[in-house]
Structure 1
């Protein structure tokens, strides 16, 4: 692996922007309608429990990424096979997130620009960032973290002063009981975005102070979860349940309604930058995990040689993964959630932890 070291705060901001990334764009939990925010809080709680699986594995193998300790837990060849499947999974999800933000731009401000051009520009930028190294990516994330939060605060003030928020849209709470919320929790909010923390099993070895791993990761998840919950509450309050559920990009629709003193309006283009920053880091982290994992499994001494070819695969998959956006969304809410998210985020790590426990029961684990 690359000999990179990042601070606890750098890991914290990477987690926050990663978790918020496409979650702010797509607003998970909309199936629960006005109770979507409750489903997100359930997802956060479940995601924290799942994270402890990843963290316990990290305690057993604090200096190894997922693709390396897979081989120690279940054997060299089978471990490499599962590791390769994780690399494919990271590439596929990176391509899906790239498609999300490509569709955002082509359906809003770049109507006449081909999706391929938009996605290519994003991938080329990420290739440059990853080629510079993970430490550089983490330092850039520190800078943009402040910009993102400043933009969010300004946006919240503008929405409030525009008089758009109607808290009555959040009622009746639990109109149909807990069943829709729990169903949404298991189907969506547990795995998206909180279960996606599985990608950080490739990055935790870079943390310079291992003892901070738990508090930093939990802090990042909780802050991101609170932000996503607040954003969802605002979206429902402004748009109403019907429009919130039907809207492809609810936050953008909400921001588009801002109008103050008959001259301050059409701010959706400005706040699109806020969304693109989150998307950039989410794609970059999945992309980097795929590069680092491939270099580990195939024994590349210089992982930079893999950056460009894997980038081209991500770009190609982002275009070919679906013929249109409706098909893309259907695939995301069906195939991905049912057949990819649960196995890679929950089932396989749980099995690994059980095996690792018995393999290491006589050994002293690293400090929590």
Structure 2
């Protein structure tokens, strides 16, 4: 792993921006209609539980990433296979977010520019940042966090001032009961975006004060969950259920309706800047996690050598994962959560934690037995 350290504030901001990422772009929880915001609340609560699993594994192996301690728990061969699968998974997440970014920019700002060119420019910037190391990405996130929050507060105030919010669009609550909400939580919002924090199993060892990792992670997930819930409430309240479900980019559609004093309008750039910030951080962290994981598995001395191979693969993958954006969104919210997210975010980490628990308990018993034997020998 890179010889670097990040402080608690930087980790907090990285988690927050990672969770927001492209989530503000998606129609999360649309199956629950006007109760979509409830699914996000439930999803982030599930995300908190998953983070506790990841953090507990981190406490067992504070100086190792998932790609390394999987070998300690499962044996070298199986552990390397599992670690490599996670690296491919991180690359897949990066490709999905990159596709989100490229499609939005192409649709909104540069309709005549191929998505390939947009994605390539984005990846060139990310490649430059990752070559500087995780500490530079962490410092960049601090500046980005301030900009993102100023944009978010300004956008929310302008939506309120414009009189666009119609709270009746949020009614009736639980029209079809709690079942659609719970179903959406366990099949979608718990994994996207909250369970994706599994990427940080590769980054937690960089924290300079490990004892603060738990509270930092839980607080960051909670703040991002609250923010995404507010975004969902505003989208449904402004667009209505039909508008929310039909919109390709709900938040963009909401912001486009802002009009204050007949001159302050067309504030779409707010949304674009926010997505660029979140997309940059999320793709960077996913690619970084994949590159250091592969470097550890195959004993490559410098992860930066891998970036020049992985970046072109990532650009191609972002374009080939789906034929069009509709298919890309449907696959990401309906198919991928159960096929990829569930086993890799939930099943395997819990399985690893169970093994780590029993191995740790066995070590403690052996240590206690050795100490007792030593005491008995000393007394005799």
Q: Distance in 1 between matches of 2:50 and 2:269?
A: 36
The Cα shift of 1:27 comes to: 3.4
Question: Is the counterpart of residue 33 in structure 1 residue 12 in structure 2?
Answer: no
Residue 257 of structure 2 corresponds to 257
Residue by residue over 1:25-44, the C-alpha shift from the partner in whole angstroms, topping out at 9 and shown as x without a partner, is 11311111110111111111
Which structure is larger by alpha-carbon Rg, 1 or 2?
2
Count, aligned residues? 364
Residue 121 of structure 1 corresponds to 121
Q: Distance in 2 between matches of 1:138 and 1:220?
A: 15
SS in structure 1 at match of 2:21: helix
The Cα shift of 1:244 comes to: 0.5
Residue 221 of structure 1 corresponds to 221
Q: Is the 8 A contact 2:68 2:297 kept in 1?
A: yes
The Cα shift of 1:362 comes to: 3.7
Q: Distance in 2 between matches of 1:252 and 1:48?
A: 28
The Cα shift of 1:339 comes to: 0.6
Residue by residue over 1:331-361, the C-alpha shift from the partner in whole angstroms, topping out at 9 and shown as x without a partner, is 2123311210001100110111111111111
What are structure 2's unaligned runs of at least 5 residues? 365-380
The Cα shift of 1:363 comes to: 4.3
RMSD: 0.9
Residue by residue over 1:21-71, the C-alpha shift from the partner in whole angstroms, topping out at 9 and shown as x without a partner, is 111111311111110111111111111111111111111001100000000
Residue 12 of structure 1 corresponds to 12
Q: TM-score, normalised by structure 1?
A: 0.97
Q: Is the 8 A contact 2:251 2:271 kept in 1?
A: no
Q: TM-score, normalised by structure 2?
A: 0.94
Residue 158 of structure 1 corresponds to 158
Residue 279 of structure 1 corresponds to 279
Q: Distance in 2 between matches of 1:363 and 1:54?
A: 21
Q: Distance in 2 between matches of 1:224 and 1:78?
A: 35
Residue 61 of structure 2 corresponds to 61
Which is further off, 328-337 or 131-140?
Answer: 328-337
Q: Distance in 1 between matches of 2:3 and 2:86?
A: 22
Residue by residue over 1:75-112, the C-alpha shift from the partner in whole angstroms, topping out at 9 and shown as x without a partner, is 00100001111011111110011001100111111110
Residue 95 of structure 1 corresponds to 95
Q: Distance in 2 between matches of 1:334 and 1:274?
A: 25
Q: Distance in 1 between matches of 2:85 and 2:5?
A: 26
What are structure 1's unaligned runs of at least 5 residues? none
Moved over 2 A (4+): none
